[in-house]
Amino acid sequence: MNSRRLNREKKTIEAMIGIYCRAHHYSQGELCQECGGLLHYAFARIEKCPHGDQKPACAKCRIHCYNKAMRDKVRQVMRFSGPRMMLRHPLLTALHYLDQVTKGEGVAIGRSRASGGV
């Protein structure tokens, strides 16, 4: 299973991990070993997703296929990289939000968790 949507999701997570790694581990060009392992793990999870092309955003999914330690690490990466994605990778960011909207998941931009946002 190697759809355009899943390939784009791989590019998005790769960009997010790259932003995080450069800022936290001062890597230049290639990812450090820890972030490279996280990327490899994320790619494997995307490939094995039982939803295939209809895959929802992981945060919205009822199936949690990441183990707890990796899920926590990916959340940490996303919290840091998410706000920076719009500046560094605006097209990937826009397509990611579009995927959520077209799947009926909705996107709460500018809302805090306390007010019921994402």
In terms of residues, how long is the chain?
118
| 60 phi, psi to nearest 5 deg | -95, -5
Residue 59 CA to residue 27 CA, distance in Å, equals 28
Contact indicator for 47, 13 with CB cutoff of 8 Å: no
Mean pLDDT of 16-41: 93
User: What's the burial of 17, exposed, middle or buried (CB within 10 Å: 0-12/13-18/19+)?
Assistant: buried
- Residue 114's CB is within 10 A of a number of other CB atoms, namely 6
pTM for this prediction: 0.79
**Is 104 or 56 the better-scoring residue by pLDDT?**
56
12-28 pLDDT, tens digit per residue, is 999 999 999 999 998 88
